[in-house]
Amino acid sequence: MLTDAMLRDSIGVDGVGHDHRVTRGRLEAFSDGVIAIIITIMVLELVPPHGSDVQDLLPLAPIFVAYVLSFANLAIYWNNHHHLLQAAKTVSGRVLWSNMLLLFWLSLVPFATAWMGENEFAAFPVALYGLILIMAAVSYGFLVRALIAAPGQTSTLAEALGDDFKGRISPLLYGLAIPISFIAPLVAFGIYWFVAAIWIVPDRRIEQRIAT
Amino acid sequence: MLTDAMLRDSIGVDGVGHDHRVTRGRLEAFSDGVIAIIITIMVLELVPPHGSDVQDLLPLAPIFVAYVLSFANLAIYWNNHHHLLQAAKTVSGRVLWSNMLLLFWLSLVPFATAWMGENEFAAFPVALYGLILIMAAVSYGFLVRALIAAPGQTSTLAEALGDDFKGRISPLLYGLAIPISFIAPLVAFGIYWFVAAIWIVPDRRIEQRIAT
Amino acid sequence: MLTDAMLRDSIGVDGVGHDHRVTRGRLEAFSDGVIAIIITIMVLELVPPHGSDVQDLLPLAPIFVAYVLSFANLAIYWNNHHHLLQAAKTVSGRVLWSNMLLLFWLSLVPFATAWMGENEFAAFPVALYGLILIMAAVSYGFLVRALIAAPGQTSTLAEALGDDFKGRISPLLYGLAIPISFIAPLVAFGIYWFVAAIWIVPDRRIEQRIAT
Amino acid sequence: MLTDAMLRDSIGVDGVGHDHRVTRGRLEAFSDGVIAIIITIMVLELVPPHGSDVQDLLPLAPIFVAYVLSFANLAIYWNNHHHLLQAAKTVSGRVLWSNMLLLFWLSLVPFATAWMGENEFAAFPVALYGLILIMAAVSYGFLVRALIAAPGQTSTLAEALGDDFKGRISPLLYGLAIPISFIAPLVAFGIYWFVAAIWIVPDRRIEQRIAT
Query: Does the pLDDT at position B136 exceed 50?
Result: yes
Q: What residue type is D79 in one-letter code? A: N
Predicted confidence band at B3 (pLDDT cuts at 50, 70, 90)?
very low
Q: Nearest chain A Cα to B99, which residue?
A: A75
Long-range CB pairs of D143-146 (<8 Å, 24+ gap) are D143/D84, D143/D95, D143/D98, D143/D99, D143/D101, D143/D102, D144/C1, D144/D84, D145/D98, D146/D92, D146/D94, D146/D95, D146/D97, D146/D98
For D:1-30, CB contacts with B below 8 A are 1-11, 13, 18, 22-23, 26, 29-30
Burial readout D36-66 (b: 16 or more C-beta within 10 A, e: otherwise): bbbbbbbbebbebbeebeeebbeebebbbbb
Q: Which pLDDT tens digit goes with each residue over B46-55?
A: 999 999 998 9
Q: Nearest chain D Cα to C128, which residue?
A: D54
Distances, alpha carbon A164 to alpha carbons A83, A170, B4, C85, C155, in Å: 13, 10, 9, 36, 46
Q: Is C43 on the interface with A (CB under 8 A)?
A: yes
- ipTM associated with this complex: 0.85
User: What's the whole-number mean pLDDT along residues B173-195?
Assistant: 95
- Per-residue model confidence as pLDDT tens for chain A (212 residues): 444 444 443 333 333 334 455 678 888 889 999 999 999 999 998 999 999 998 999 999 999 999 999 999 999 999 889 888 888 878 888 899 999 999 999 999 999 999 999 999 999 999 999 999 999 999 999 999 899 888 878 777 776 676 677 888 899 999 999 999 999 999 999 999 999 998 887 545 444 554 55
Query: Does the pLDDT at position B25 exceed 90?
Result: no
For C:85-104, CB contacts with A below 8 A are 86-87
Query: Does the pLDDT at position C204 exceed 80?
Result: no
Are C97 and D39 an interchain contact pair (Cβ–Cβ within 8 Å)?
A: no
Are B83 and D6 an interchain contact pair (Cβ–Cβ within 8 Å)?
A: yes
Are D32 and C37 an interchain contact pair (Cβ–Cβ within 8 Å)?
A: no
Residue B163: the pLDDT is 65
> Which residue stretches of chain A are H helix?
4-10, 20-41, 61-87, 93-107, 109-118, 123-149, 155-161, 165-181, 185-211
Best residue in B24, B52, B78 for a mutation probing chain D (most D CBs within 10 Å): B52
Residue B70: the pLDDT is 97
Q: Is B167 on the interface with D (CB under 8 A)?
A: yes
Q: Nearest chain C Cα to D53, which residue?
A: C124
In the Cβ-directed half-sphere of C95, how many Cα atoms lie within 13 Å? Answer: 26
What pTM value is reported for the model? 0.88
Q: What residue type is A75 in one-letter code? A: A
Tally C-beta pairs within 8 A across B and D.
Answer: 131
| A32 touches B30 (CB < 8 A) | yes
Q: Which pLDDT tens digit goes with each residue over B109-122?
A: 999 999 999 999 99
For C:144-163, CB contacts with A below 8 A are 144, 160-163
Predicted confidence band at C142 (pLDDT cuts at 50, 70, 90)?
very high
Q: Which pLDDT tens digit goes with each residue over D73-127?
A: 999 999 889 888 888 878 888 899 999 999 999 999 999 999 999 999 999 999 9
Angle between the A123-149 and A61-87 helix axes, to the nearest 10 degrees?
10
Q: Is A84 on the interface with B (CB under 8 A)?
A: yes
Chain A residue numbers touching C78 (CB-CB < 8 A):
30
For D:110-149, CB contacts with B below 8 A are 110-111, 114-115, 118-119, 122-125, 128, 149
| A38 touches A107 (CB < 8 A) | yes
Best residue in C30, C40, C199 for a mutation probing chain A (most A CBs within 10 Å): C40
Residue D162: the pLDDT is 63
